[in-house]
Amino acid sequence: MHISKKKNKFAVVFNVELRKLKRMMTNADKELVFSESVKAGKRIYYFDVKQSRNGDKYVAITESKKIVSGPEDNPQISYEKHKVFLYKEDFEKFTNALNKAIDVATNGVPPTEETETADEAEPVEPVDTNIDIQF
């Protein structure tokens, strides 16, 4: 904190404001390409596609939860936020795991290791690659 005296009045300048300004400038470097939101009760999920300065796109998933505290006549409202950043090299692994988790949640039956390894170990029948093309 920096305090300066000017015409018998104290002006307080907080470094916090400077940090906020720097953070805003840094966030401006990340261009928003697409945004979709999903409202679910007291929560909102944001799915944002952003582009970094080097041109790579990534997904930022934000969960925002409304928190109401204090007395009913004067409630204080705040928001709790959690973020997940998903980069392109992880898209396939992430969607596979998410789909598997949703499948288990929907069907109620988790896959067993035996089922997964048995599926992977099944022999693959050879495919006839002899294609006769005439022009």
Q: Check if the beta carbon of residue 86 is closer than 8 Å to that of residue 92.
A: no
pLDDT at 111: 73
Assess whether pLDDT exceeds 70 at residue 18.
Answer: no
Residue 22 pairs in a beta bridge with: none
Return d(Cα 68, Cα 87) in angstroms, integer: 33
Residues 98-116 have pLDDT tens digits of: 999 999 999 988 777 655 5
pLDDT at 109: 80
Residues 25-66 have pLDDT tens digits of: 555 546 899 999 999 998 999 999 999 988 999 999 999 999
Assess whether pLDDT exceeds 80 at residue 17.
Answer: no
Domain range 30-114, CATH class: alpha beta
